[in-house]
Every structure is written in structure tokens, then in C-alpha cells.
Amino acid sequence: MNDRYKGEQVLVFPQRLLAQLGHFNGSSADINRYLPEIFARGNTRFHPRHEAEQDPSLKQIIPYVLFTYGDQIFSYVRGKKAGETRLVGNRSVGIGGHVNPVDGQLSLGLGDARDAEDDYATYLKAVQREIDEEVILDAPGPHATEIIGLINDDTNEVGQVHFGVIHRCRLDTPHVRKRESQITEAGFLPIAELAGPRRAELENWSQIAIDFLIS
């Protein structure tokens, strides 16, 4: 894993901050309690990914975007080329990934983005980049996302080093297609189906996200 991620910098915050704010395992709708503090200047920083993946004292911030159409949700299976090899073969309902320094430069085109915009603005750029990289939206825009919740799952080694921000994008038509090769078996499925008979197919974060939607 170390060689694979060398050179990549990802946005992190210290796990102790989560403990100070109130540790939770699963989901939380208390966005205003956590996000302003997490993204406060000095609490987030970029760190080498190959180290962060093995360091539970750091939480890597991950946008997790859900595309819903009525009572259906876009889902896919993580193929062999997935960036997180520990999740290969699992069904996911979330589109997203790590926040990198380049995300802060997307609106600037030069220099150190952190001198000109805060890390929350950088994070929002990363959300749009991940959507553009992973899927194609055929439905007419704009496609605004709303932050509806948070995910923290310390029950496994992947979750111990990541922290999810759940975004929801409500669509008028079920027209989302995969762009990345790591996405397989993609399409819309009933939320109730994934919450019920097909729940075991879902990665942990997707189970948490589905439970959050129907709660």
C-alpha cells in the first residue's frame, strides 16, 4: 500500500478532535456541531496518504455523494481497479474520494491554494471533481448537492482512518452513468431493496448511509 500512495497528499484532521466534539460510531445529522470545527483553520492539513492510511490518529476527510431519484438510489460495485483495494467487490451507494492539494488550485490555477481559500472551499472543489471524474449526469442541471449527515465507522481498518461527509443530490430523472473503469454493475435500485434483502452486498459506509436515509 505504501508504494501505491507515495506522493499523494490528502486532507486530514486529528482523531482527537472527534473525541473532543463527541465521538460517534455510525452516522450523525449534527452537521453544525462537527464540520465548522473540523474545517477551522489549523485543524485540517494535508498529509502523505501512505502514512495516513496506517495512522488511526488521523481521519481522512471523504465526500460521499448519494444520487437519488424518488425512492431509488444510484449504486455500483467497486471493481478491481478501485482506489481502495480493501473495498473491491462491495456494492456502494457513495461517489467520492480523497481531497488533494490540487482541489484548492482548481479555482486559482496557481500558487498555494491554502493561502487564498480555506480548506472547506478546497473540500467543496473536491466534491465536484470526484463527481465529474466518476460519473456522467445526463439529466439537465444544475446538480446541487446538500450535506445531510456524517459517517464515522471505527469497526474496521478502512473506517478507522476515514471520516465521511454525506451529500445528497436529488435528480428528476434516473440518468447517471459510470465514467470510471472501477465502477461496475452501476444503476438505480430501490432504497428499500438495499435496506432489506440486498443489505449484505453493501460496504459498511453504504449500509450506514442507507440506514440514515430511511431513519
Mean pLDDT of the chain: 89
Question: What is the pLDDT averaged over residues 126-149?
Answer: 89
pLDDT over threshold 50, residue 111? no
pLDDT in tens, 169-213: 999 999 999 998 889 999 999 999 999 999 999 999 999 999 999
Peptide bond into 63 cis (omega under 30): no
pTM over 0.85: yes
**Number of separate domains in the chain:** 1
User: Residue 66 and residue 206: Cα distance in Å, rounded?
Assistant: 10
Amino acid making up residue 78: R
Q: What is the 3-state secondary structure (H, E, C) of 160-197?
A: HHEEEEEEEEECCCCCEEECCCCEEEEEEEEHHHHHCC
What percent of the chain clears pLDDT 90, i.e. is strictly above it? 77
The pLDDT of residue 143 is 75
User: Residue 196 and residue 184: Cα distance in Å, rounded?
Assistant: 21
User: Residue 188 and residue 146: Cα distance in Å, rounded?
Assistant: 19
Residue ranges making up the domain that contains 34: 2-214
Which CATH number goes with the domain that contains 146?
3.90.79.10
The cell numbers describing 34, all together, are: 462537527
The pLDDT of residue 113 is 44
